[in-house]
């Protein structure tokens, strides 16, 4: 029977007059569709899609935890970049389903959207971006094995590229219950099949914060990369806030926690202000899915926060006369995590990362209005500190506006002069021009010599950049490191940003693949994200991708952008003869390349690679920046050192 089924899975779809039932044809079409258009199911076939496979599987275990049957989840990266996910839940059901006549365990992996269709007892709230499950991962895996511990027995089923290669078989006995899934992503379906431990670790930590009490263990078992981490937070999103604020000084010790529910939905909010931050960090989730573009739950929070703080300022006699504070004032220095759970989440926006359900605005607004007022009444010292901070923000914003007006007036009188360090290009049409923002003096020199001055401008940056976190808009306006960037781009910043004045339609960050380079990239991206966001939203910002290796054989020189490419080129240059000598060296930085090399590998539009910066990249940079820019210096150093190498690909 197993063989017949795999034959069925491979048969041509036109062959319909067959002895198998219609439901099985459905099975075939389902998984073929996934392999034909994988992007529809997992977003993309890049690294992000590859990691998405793991989230899809883990989401099932999280569902089991939310249903109250599981409290330990293990995620392992195995040798060869296979993934194993194990939980101690009830185990996927193994009984025969009436509709298909097959064990549920087989159906889960062969029918699209089969997950959650049976049983029906669980409260299904978790779910990946696209709400698909084990069958999609199965379809995109070179092989996959599932073992279920249940009823004292171990059941096993195996697949290859979505086709069942071993039907459900009892392979032993057990005294435990749970589900184990092992899969190897199909190299035919993905650009790259190497997993990044930090990416998975970050996501699992997030899930551990969002699902208080669940133990999540993650391990990298690949030789030379061994790592592991155990995560478990009884405090849930309260501890998430503490984690985000770890390098900052809280304005009040206790994290404010608010929760409430209505019908089938619930909302939890945790927040804390920091005295040494002027930045707003709101991290929101719907059904455990991150919503970096915000949405209705964030709107509910903002509305309630502004109303409650204004009412309290008046009531507690903190405001003088007609004083009041704006929404922005109320969020300066705020770190807030919102998590809502609802039955039919609607994800909207460009990246489907924005929550559209308006009932969540009502719910979060109600919870915060009610609980925050109560908290402030019970903790007047905290109330006073928060209101005073908001008032300070209000005054600073006034001062900043005046400073901006002064500068505008000055510019109108004198005409704005371009920065002295800028080597501008000849072309004037922004659609045809690009600017390289280059780290370091020597690299700046080579870039200037190597460029095509008809359309490429160079702006070198050096020295430590301003700590954007601590600086308000007024300080940034006058800062001598960022000022040249602002004037060279010519479009202003903040509320005054005017895209039509942008002087270059490609803004290219060119920095080394080392710690300092990643620092500069993070700073610039964070700066653009906070003060020139349309620049990123409209796709004007790029990262240059300099090569990592240089290979020389006699008079022939080639470069490689990765270790894999280096090895391939080296083999090619030797032409199969191991005795041929190819000299391989590593570029330690941009400064080591002469101007011709820099032009050929990194700047020539015909030959270079540019990576367009997405909002997702910028959001990540912003988050890293927050982590890096706290008061305490040591954790920051360690963090940069640990991640410096990865920052090469902006893969934070
Ligand atoms: F993705 C997946 F399907 F492969 C998968 C599912 C992967 C992993 C790691 C875990 C799971 C999973 C599924 N863990 N626990 C469950 N539970 C059920 O499927 C289940 C068990 C019992 C009942 C019941 O009503 O008795 C219902 C369900 C949905």
- Distance, in Å, from the CA atom of 386 to the CA atom of 150, rounded to the nearest integer, reads 53
Interval between CA 388 and ligand 1 midpoint (Å):
50
In the chain, % helix, strand, coil (3-state, to 5) comes to: 40, 20, 35
Q: Is 349 in the pocket of ligand 1 (CB under 6 A)?
A: no
Look at 632 and 429; give whichever has higher pLDDT. 429
Distances (CA, A) of 448 to 11, 194, 442, 451, 595: 60, 37, 10, 6, 8
Q: Residue 427 pLDDT more than 80? A: yes
pLDDT of residue 112: 77
Catalytic residue among 106, 512, 600, 617: 512
Instruction: Among 42, 88, 90, say which to mutate for ligand 1: greatest number of ligand atoms within 8 Å of CB.
Output: 90
Q: What percent of the chain has pLDDT over 90?
A: 61
pLDDT of residue 643: 53
Query: pLDDT-based confidence at 160, cuts 50/70/90?
Result: very high
pLDDT in tens, 382-406: 999 999 999 999 988 887 777 777 7
Catalytic residue among 370, 514, 537, 604: 514
Q: Is 181 in the pocket of ligand 1 (CB under 6 A)?
A: yes
State yes or no: is 439 an active-site residue. yes
pLDDT in tens, 487-523: 899 998 887 889 999 999 999 999 887 777 887 888 8
Among the ranges given (45-59, 245-259, 406-420), the one the predictor scored with the smallest mean pLDDT: 406-420
Collapsing DSSP states into helix, strand and coil, what is residue 292? coil
State yes or no: is 514 an active-site residue. yes
pLDDT of residue 592: 84
Average pLDDT over residues 410-421: 70
- Phi first, then psi, for residue 234 (nearest 5°) are -65, -30
- Distance, in Å, from the CA atom of 399 to the CA atom of 393, rounded to the nearest integer, reads 10
pLDDT of residue 600: 92
Q: Is 119 in the pocket of ligand 1 (CB under 6 A)?
A: yes
Average pLDDT over residues 575-591: 86
Residue with tokens 């995590």: 337
Query: pLDDT-based confidence at 123, cuts 50/70/90?
Result: very low
CA atoms in the 13 A half-sphere facing the CB of 386 = 31
pLDDT of residue 650: 30
Average pLDDT, the chain: 85
Element (DSSP H or E) covering residue 106 = helix 104-110
CA neighbor of 339 nearest in space, from 210, 241, 243, 233: 210
pLDDT of residue 411: 62
Strands 506-510, 583-586: pairing is unpaired
- Distance, in Å, from the CA atom of 641 to the CA atom of 244, rounded to the nearest integer, reads 19
Q: Which atom of ligand 1 is nearest to the CA of 57?
A: 1
Among the ranges given (38-47, 125-134, 545-554), the one the predictor scored with the smallest mean pLDDT: 125-134
How many CB atoms are closer than 10 A to CB 645? 12
Q: Residue 331 pLDDT more than 90? A: yes
Q: Is 57 in the pocket of ligand 1 (CB under 6 A)?
A: yes
Among the ranges given (260-264, 313-317, 640-644), the one the predictor scored with the smallest mean pLDDT: 640-644
Residue with tokens 């220095």: 333
pLDDT in tens, 195-242: 999 999 999 999 999 999 999 999 999 999 999 999 999 999 999 999
State yes or no: is 512 an active-site residue. yes
Q: Residue 593 pLDDT more than 80? A: yes
Tokens of 443: 């690299």
- Distance, in Å, from the CA atom of 597 to the CA atom of 559, rounded to the nearest integer, reads 9
pLDDT of residue 200: 97
Catalytic residue among 439, 469, 617, 622: 439
Q: Which atom of ligand 1 is nearest to the CA of 58?
A: 9
Residue with tokens 């299904």: 124
CA atoms in the 13 A half-sphere facing the CB of 640 = 19
**Strand locations in 463-546 (E):** 506-510, 541-544
**What's the predicted TM-score (pTM) here?**
0.69
Protein residue whose Cα sits closest to atom 3 of ligand 1: 134
Average pLDDT over residues 462-473: 55
Q: Is 133 in the pocket of ligand 1 (CB under 6 A)?
A: yes
Interval between CA 212 and ligand 1 midpoint (Å):
20
Crossing angle for the helix pair 380-414 and 359-378, to the nearest 10 degrees = 120
- Distance, in Å, from the CA atom of 606 to the CA atom of 599, rounded to the nearest integer, reads 10
| Per-residue buried b or exposed e for 296-323, using 16+ beta carbons within 10 Å of the residue's own CB | bbbbbbbbbbbbbbbebbeeeebbeeee
- Distance, in Å, from the CA atom of 293 to the CA atom of 527, rounded to the nearest integer, reads 18
R_g over Cα of the chain: 28
pLDDT in tens, 32-64: 889 998 988 888 899 999 999 999 999 999 999
pLDDT in tens, 72-119: 999 999 999 999 999 999 999 999 988 889 999 998 888 876 433 332
């Amino acid at each position: 029977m197993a063989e017949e089924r795999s034959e069925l899975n491979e048969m041509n779809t036109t062959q319909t007059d067959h002895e198998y039932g219609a439901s099985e044809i459905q099975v075939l079409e389902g998984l073929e569709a996934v392999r034909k258009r994988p992007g529809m199911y997992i977003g993309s076939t890049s690294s992000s899609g590859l990691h998405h496979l793991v989230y899809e599987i883990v989401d099932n275990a999280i569902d089991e935890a939310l249903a109250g049957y599981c409290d330990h989840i293990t995620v392992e990266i195995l040798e060869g970049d296979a993934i194993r996910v194990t939980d101690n839940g009830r185990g996927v059901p193994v009984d025969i389903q009436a509709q298909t006549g097959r064990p549920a365990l087989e159906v889960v992996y062969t029918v699209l959207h089969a997950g959650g269709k049976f049983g029906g007892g669980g409260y299904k709230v978790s779910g990946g971006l696209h709400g698909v499950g084990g069958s999609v991962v199965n379809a995109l895996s070179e092989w996959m094995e599932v073992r279920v511990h249940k009823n004292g027995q171990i059941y096993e089923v195996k697949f290859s590229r979505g086709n069942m290669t071993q039907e459900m078989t009892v392979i032993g006995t057990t005294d435990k219950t749970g589900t184990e899934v092992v899969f190897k992503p199909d190299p035919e379906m993905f650009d790259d099949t190497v997993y990044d431990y930090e990416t998975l670790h970050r996501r699992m930590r997030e899930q551990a914060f969002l699902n208080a009490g669940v133990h999540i263990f993650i391990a990298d078992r690949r030789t030379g990369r061994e790592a592991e981490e155990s995560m478990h937070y009884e405090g849930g999103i309260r501890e998430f806030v503490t984690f985000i604020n770890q390098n900052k000084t809280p304005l009040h010790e206790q994290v404010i926690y608010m929760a409430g529910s209505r019908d089938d939905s619930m909302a939890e909010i945790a927040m804390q202000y920091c005295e040494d931050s002027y930045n707003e960090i709101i991290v929101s989730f719907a059904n455990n899915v991150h919503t970096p573009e915000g949405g209705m739950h964030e709107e509910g929070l903002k509305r309630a926060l502004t109303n409650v703080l204004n009412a309290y300022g008046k009531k507690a006699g903190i405001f003088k006369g007609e004083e009041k504070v704006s929404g922005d004032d109320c969020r300066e220095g705020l770190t807030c995590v919102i998590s809502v759970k609802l039955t039919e989440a609607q994800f909207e926006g460009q990246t489907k990362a924005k929550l559209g359900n308006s009932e969540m605005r009502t719910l979060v607004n109600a919870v915060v209005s009610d609980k925050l007022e109560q908290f402030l009444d019970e903790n007047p010292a905290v109330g006073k500190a928060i209101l005073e901070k908001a008032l300070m923000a209000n005054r600073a914003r006034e001062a900043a506006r005046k400073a901006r007006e002064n500068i505008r007036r000055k510019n109108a009188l004198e005409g704005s002069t371009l920065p002295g360090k800028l080597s501008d290009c000849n072309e004037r049409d922004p659609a045809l021009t690009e600017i390289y923002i280059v780290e370091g003096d020597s690299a700046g020199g080579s870039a200037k010599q190597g460029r095509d001055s008809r359309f490429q401008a160079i702006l070198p940056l050096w020295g430590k950049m301003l700590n954007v976190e601590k600086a308000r808009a007024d300080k940034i306006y006058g800062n001598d490191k960022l000022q040249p960037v602002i004037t060279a781009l010519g479009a202003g910043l903040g509320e005054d940003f005017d895209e039509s004045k942008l002087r270059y339609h490609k803004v290219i960050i060119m920095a080394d693949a080392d710690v300092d380079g990643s620092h500069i990239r993070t700073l610039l991206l964070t700066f653009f994200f906070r003060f020139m966001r349309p620049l990123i939203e409209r796709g004007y910002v790029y990262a240059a991708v300099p090569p990592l290796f240089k290979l020389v054989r006699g008079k022939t020189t080639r470069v490689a952008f990765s270790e894999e490419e280096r090895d391939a080129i080296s083999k090619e240059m030797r032409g199969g003869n191991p005795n041929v000598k190819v000299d391989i060296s590593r570029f330690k930085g941009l400064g080591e390349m002469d101007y011709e090399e820099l032009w050929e590998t990194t700047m020539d539009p015909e030959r270079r690679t540019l990576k367009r910066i997405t909002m997702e990249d910028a959001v990540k940079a912003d988050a890293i920046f927050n982590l890096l820019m706290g008061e305490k210096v040591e954790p920051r150093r360690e963090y940069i050192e640990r991640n410096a190498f990865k920052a090469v690909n902006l893969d934070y």
